[in-house]
Amino acid sequence: MPFPINRPRRLRRTETIRRMIRETRLSADDLILPMFVCPGRGVKNVIKSMPGVAQMSVDNVVAEARETWAAGVPAVILFGIPERKDAQGSEAWNDNGEVQRAIREIKERVPGLAVITDVCMCEYTDHGHCGALSGNDVDNDATLELLTRSALSHARAGADIVAPSDMMDGRVGAIRGALDGNGFSHVAIMAYSAKFASAFYGPFREAAESAPKFGDRRSYQMDPPNGDEAMREVAMDLDEGADIVMVKPAIPYLDLIYRVKQEFNVPVAAYNVSGEYSMIRAAGINGWLDEERATMEVLTSIKRAGADLILTYFAKDVARKLHG
C-alpha cells in the first residue's frame, strides 16, 4: 500500500469527534478551592503574588463559598491567618478562631459544600515553622499534640475533612485516634502524604503569612529527588488511617501522582500550588500564553496522571467554564 492504512488524524478532524474519543475528562467534581481566612469584617486583602486571590474575612469567605458551590465545585479547603501568633500556635485550636467560625458559617449557609481544613502550625506560630520547637529544630512528637488539638477543634466546628500538611511522622495516626476517641469517627483525613520541600510555595507564604523566621523546612518536608520515599510515606499514612492521600506540588510530581494511583488505588489528591498558579496567571496577564488553555491543559494533565481531586486556585473559574 502507498500509505499506512491507520491515520490517527481522522479522529482529530473536528471538535465534535475529538470530544467523542477524549480519554481524560476534567470535571468540576474533581476540584477543591483553597481559601485564606483572616480577622475582621468586610476584609479582602489582595495577595500581590497571586492575582485574583485574596485573604478574606469570614463574611467574604462565606460569600465566596456560596459562589463556589453555585459554580459546581464540591469543596473548599480553609487556611487561617490568626490575629495573634505565639510559639505554640495556640490560635490553631481556638474554637472561636477564624477558621472555626468560617466552618460554622459555611455549614449553616452553604450546607451542601464540603469543608476541608488545613491542619498545620506554620500559619499560627510566631517562628513560622510547622510545629513546636526544640532549639532550632521542630520537635516531632511534641507537635503531634498540637496538631490533634487543632484537628479536634475543626471537627467540633463541623469540618467534613481535616488535612494535616505538617509532614510530622505519626501525625495521621495521632489525629485518627483523637478523632475516633472523641466521637468524630465520621470525619475523614486527607493527608499531605508526599509533600516536597518545593520552590513553588513562595506565593503561598505571602498569602498565609507563614514564611519561617529562620532556616527552612527541609528537615521535615520531602527531598524533591526521592520518589521511592514518597511511596513509603503514602503507605505509612494509609496504615495510620488516611482516607485520601495527597501529592504536593502537582506539576513537578506528575510521575508520583501516577505511581501512587497505580500502587495503592485509593483516592488521590494533588495540589496545584501557588507557584504553579502564579506562573500561569503572570504569563496570561502579560500575554505570553493563553491563560485559559494553559490552565485546562495543566489541570487535565494532573487528572490524567491519576489524581481524583485537584486543589487549585483556578477551581471556580474552571468549573464555570466546564459547566458552560
Q: Which of 150, 159, 83, 158 is nearest to 116 (CA)?
A: 159
- The secondary element (H helix, E strand) that includes residue 195 is strand 188-195
Rounded CA gap, 72 and 315, in Å? 9
Which residues are bridge partners to 272 per DSSP? 312
User: What type of residue is 323?
Assistant: H
254-264 helix and 291-305 helix, angle to the nearest 10 degrees: 30
On whether the CB atoms of residues 113 and 74 are closer than 8 A, the answer is: yes
Rounded CA gap, 291 and 287, in Å? 8
Q: What nine digits make up the cell of 272?
A: 496545584
Rounded CA gap, 122 and 320, in Å? 33
Rounded CA gap, 259 and 307, in Å? 11
Q: Could you list the active site residues?
A: 195, 248
98-109 helix and 58-71 helix, angle to the nearest 10 degrees: 40
Q: What nine digits make up the cell of 187?
A: 470525619
Rounded CA gap, 245 and 266, in Å? 8
Residues 6 or more apart whose CB falls under 8 angstroms from that of 77 comprise 32, 33, 34, 35, 116, 117, 118, 163, 311
Burial class (CB in 10 A: 0-12, 13-18, 19+), 37: buried
